[in-house]
Structure 1
Amino acid sequence: MIPAYIVAIGDELLYGQTLNTNAHSLSKMLTDVGFKVVKHISIADERQVILDTVEEMSKVAKIVLITGGLGPTKDDITKKTFAEYFNVGMRRDEEVLKHIENLFSSRGREMTELNQTQADVPTNCKTIPNALGTAPAMWFEKEGCIFISMPGVPFETENIMEKEVIPRLLEFFKPPFIVHKKIQTISIPESILAQKIEDWENNLPSDIHLAYLPHLGKVTLRLTCEGDDKEKIETELNAQVQKVLPLIEKYVYGFDDETIEGKVADLLKEKNLTLGIAESCTGGYTARTFTQHEGASKFFEGGIIAYSNDVKIKVLGVKLDTIVKYGAVSEQTALEMAEGVRKLLGTKIGIATTGVAGTGGGTPEKPVGTVWIAYSDENETVAKTYQLTKNRNLNIQLTTNAVLNLLRKKMIEM
C-alpha cells in the first residue's frame, strides 16, 4: 500500500462557504491508478497550522497532495510557509514567468508586479506547469515522502493532476491495482440487505473487502480488492457478484457507476417507449432527473407540473368529484393524473406524483411525507403510497427514486 493524504488549505472551506470538491476528484484519480487515500483534511490559512500539518504528514505518508493558498495576495501563504518548513529561500522561475506573460498577453490583459510574483517559488521545489492558470504546482521531496502543492481552483487542479502529477507519481512509485466492483440496489434498507447476504459476506475471501454505501433509498455494495494482477482481481470480483446476485436480484438495478435514471432511460429507448410526467409534490424534479441526461428527447415527451387542483382538473382531466371526495393526495387522484398525462401527451407511459412534501400542509390523516405515485400504460394504471420523512427536499428526491423504480419494474415485466 502506498498511503496518500489530501490536505485542503482555505478558511472558506472551514467557514462552509466553499465546497471542497478537490478532495473528491483527487481521491478518485489516485485510487484509479492504485494509490491508497488514507485521509482528507481541511486546514486554515495559518502559518503554524500549515507547518504542523506538513510535519505530521511527513511521518506517515508517501504522498501528500495539498491544494489552495497559492494566489498572489497576502492571504495566500502556502509558498512562503513551505520555504520556511524546508529552511530555503525563494527563486523566480523564468519558465513559469514566461507562461504567465503569455497567458496575460493572450487574454489582452495587463500583468502587474503582483502577478509576476506567481513565478516565485521555494528554491528546493520542482515546478509543475499549470496550463490553465498562473500559479504553478510545486513538487517537494523529504525522506521518501512526496509533497505536491497545487492551486485550489478545481478545474486547474484536476488538469494538473491528470496531465502532470499522475504520470510523475507513476514514474516514482509502482502502486498495486485497486479494483472496485459495485452493485447498485434500490428499495431495500441497508439492514435488510445485510441480512439477506450475511452468509455470502461471511464467506468472502480475506483479500476482498465489502462496504455498504447507503444514499437516499439506495444502497451500493462495493467490493474492493488489491493486487498486482488486474485481470485476475476482476475475475475474482465478478465471480463473487454472480454468487450474491440470486439473493438480491430483484433489488439490483445496475453495476459500477450506473444510475437508476440511466437504467430507466436505457429501458425506455430499448423498448421504444415514450414517457409523459405529471408532477405535483416533486415540482418538476422528476422531469429534470431525465432531461439532465443526453438523449432524453428520444423517449421523454414532456411534463405537467400540476401543483394546483385547477391544473390537475383543467389540464390533466382529474375529476372534480375525485378531488372533493378523496383529496389531491390520494390513490384516485394519482391514478387519474397518470392516465391523464399519458392521454394528453400521447405517450406510451404516464407517471404521476402527488403528496405532502412538507414542511407544512400535513393532517392527522395525511401527515407530512405522505406520497402517492402512479403508473399508466395502455394495459394498466396502478398506484403506490409511501410514508416518507419530515424533510421536504428528501421527500422530493425519495419520491423521484420511487417513480424510477416503479418504471423499471414495469418495463422489465413487459
Structure 2
Amino acid sequence: MGKITTSIITIGDELLIGQTIDTNSAWMAQELNALGIWVHRRVAIGDVREDILSNLAKEAELSDIVLITGGLGPTADDITKPTLCDYFQTRLVQDEATLQRVLHIFESRGLPILERNVAQAMVPESCTVIANERGTAPGMWFEKDGKIYVSMPGVPHEMKGIMESYVLPQLAAHFNTPAVVHRTLITSGMGESFVAERLTAFEAKLPPHIKLAYLPSYSLLKLRLTAFGADKVTSAAELTVYFHELMALLPDITVTDQDISIGEVLGQLLKERGKTVGTAESCTGGQISTWITAIPGSSAYYKGSAITYANEMKMKLLGVKSETLQAYGAVSEETVTEMLAGALQLLETDYAIAVSGIMGPDGGTPEKPVGTVWVAVGSREKMTAIKYHLRYDRERNTQMTAVYAMNELRKLILE
C-alpha cells in the first residue's frame, strides 16, 4: 500500500478569530506520523454548515482519513453533529452508553442536568460511537466510499483520550502503513544556513528514502533524519548509521541526540551526576524554573528559585550590593555574578543560573538597548557570565534567554 494520507479539519469560530490556538492538529500530526500516516492538509473553518459540508467532501477526495475536531458541545453554535447527519444521510439517535456516562458525571458532581446536556448522548445513527472517558461528548467513527472519518471534541484533553484509546489503534489495524523512523539531533550556537553549509556533502549522499529536515526554534536547531521503508527494524538500523555520521560532523554544537526539551536535557545531566540546581531570575520571571519543573522527577535535582524582578529584591534575597547596582545597573556582568553567588548561598545548590536583561518593548537605552541580557551560570568553584544581544519581541526574548541560560549551564557542567 502507498502513502496513507490524512486531512485534519478543526471547527470553531474561536479558531478563526485567534481566540483559541489550535494545538490539536500538531499533536495529532505527530501521533499519526509515528504510525506512518501522513497529514498533508490542515483546514480551520467556522461553525457554518455549508463550510463543514463542502470541506468534508473536498478533503475526502484528497485523503484516506478525515479527522474532525470541535463543534460537539452542548450550545446552539455547536452544529457538527446535525451537519454530519446531513453529510452521511442519517439521523440523530440516543446512545444509551453515552447517556449513562453523562448522567453519572453530573450526578457524581451534584449538578443539575439540563436537556442540552442529555442531548450530548444524541449521535448520528450510522456512526460507531467512541466512548469519551474524559468528558460528555463522544467521538464518532464513520466509513464512506472507502474513506474513514472521525469526529472528536475540540477540548485537547478529551480529544487525546479518544485518539489514544481508540482511533490510533484502529487506524494502525486498518491500514498497512509503511515504516517511518525518526532520529533527532538538537544543536545550538550556529545558524541554520551555516549548519546547512557544513552538511552539504552529507545531504548530497543521502538515499532518496532518507530525508533531513531543519527545524529551528528560538536558539535551538533540530536536525531530524527520517527513514521510510517496509520494515521498521531494517529502516532503523540504516538510519542509525547516517545519524552517527551526522553527529560526527557537528560535535561542537550538539546539545543532545534525543528529541527532548532543554529542561529535560539539563535534568538528565544533573540527575546522572547527583547534583542540584536553583535559579535567580529577573527578566525571565520564572520561565527557567518553569521549564525545569515541567519534567517529571525534577524534585530530585531542583531546589527552588528566587524571582527577583525588582532591585530591592535582588539586594534583600540575593545579597546584591547597592553600590553594584548604582555603578553598573541591574543588567550587567557584575550584578548577575552577585545574583549567582547569592542564589548558591540562599538555595544551597550545587549549581545555579542567574539572568537579568531588558526584554522590551521599552526600557532600553543607547548603552543597553532592548534585548541586552546577561546570564551567569556556575557553582561555588566555577562561574561564567555571558552577554547576549537579542532582537525579537518580549515573549521570544524571554524564551531565548531561558534556553541560552540552561544551555550555558549544560556546557559548564560538561567541561
- Regarding TM over 0.5, the answer is yes
1:36 to 35, 38, 59: 38
After TM superposition, list the pairs within 5 Å mapping 1:382-393 onto structure 2: 382-393=384-395
Match of 1:174 in 2: 176
Deviation by residue 1:170-206 (Cα, 9 ceiling, x = unmatched): 3322212222111111222111211121211121111
CA distance in 2, matches of 1:257, 1:324: 44
Residues in 2 aligned to 1:343 and 1:110: alpha-carbon distance in whole angstroms: 55
Q: Does 1:65 align with 2:67?
A: yes
Deviates most, 211-220 or 135-144: 135-144
Which runs of structure 2 are paired with 1:63-212 in the superposition (5 Å)?
63-212=65-214
Distance 1:128 1:120 in 2: 13
**Which AA in structure 1 matches 2:408?**
L
Change (3 A) 1:254 1:88: same
Work out the CA distance in 2 between the residues paired with 1:319 and 1:53: 64
Corresponding residue of 2:405? 403
Query: Which is further off, 193-202 or 310-319?
Result: 310-319
Give the Cα separation in 2 of the matches to 1:388 and 1:378: 28
Change (3 A) 1:177 1:99: same
Deviation of 1:271 (Å):
2.2
List, as ranges, runs of 4+ consecutive aligned residues in structure 1 with deviation greater than 6 Å: none
Alpha carbons of 1:157 and 1:354: their partners in 2 closer, same or farther (altered >3 Å)? closer
Q: Give the 3 Å change call, closer, same or farther, for CA 177–337 of structure 1 in structure 2.
A: same
CA 46–335 in structure 1, closer or farther in 2 if over 3 Å, else same = same
CA deviations on 1:40-94 (whole Å, 9 max, x unpaired) are 1111111110111011012111110111222343322222222222333444444
Distance 1:312 1:2, change over 3 A: same
Cα deviations by residue, 1:129-166 (Å, 9 ceiling, x for unpaired):
33333333222222211111222222222222222222
In the TM superposition, what are the counterparts of 1:299-378 in structure 2 within 5 Å? 299-378=301-380
Query: What SS does structure 2 have at the residue aligned with 1:249?
Result: coil
1-structure distance, mates of 2:112, 2:286: 46
Gaps of 5+ in 1: none
Aligned in 2, Cα 1:261/1:154: closer, same or farther, shift over 3 Å? Answer: closer
TM-score using structure 1 length: 0.92
Name the CA distance, whole Å, in 2 between partners of 1:315 and 1:118. 54
Paired positions, count:
413
Instruction: For 2:279 and 2:103, locate their aligned partners in 1 and report how far apart those are by CA, in whole Å.
Output: 54
Over 3 Å counting, the alpha-carbon distance change for 1:390 and 1:107 in structure 2 is: closer
Structure 2 residues not aligned, in runs of 5+: none
CA contact (8 A) 1:58 1:142 kept: no
Q: Is the 8 A contact 1:359 1:390 kept in 2?
A: no
Counting only pairs closer than 5 Å after superposition, residues 257-336 of structure 1 correspond to structure 2 as 257-336=259-338
* In structure 1, distance between residues paired with 2:135 and 2:378: 53
* The 10-residue stretch of structure 1 (9-18 or 290-299) with the greater mean CA deviation from structure 2: 290-299
Task: Give the residue type in structure 2 aligned to 1:243.
Answer: E
Aligned partner of 1:7 in structure 2 is 9
% identity of equivalent residues: 43
What is the identity, as a one-letter code, of the residue corresponding to 1:290?
I
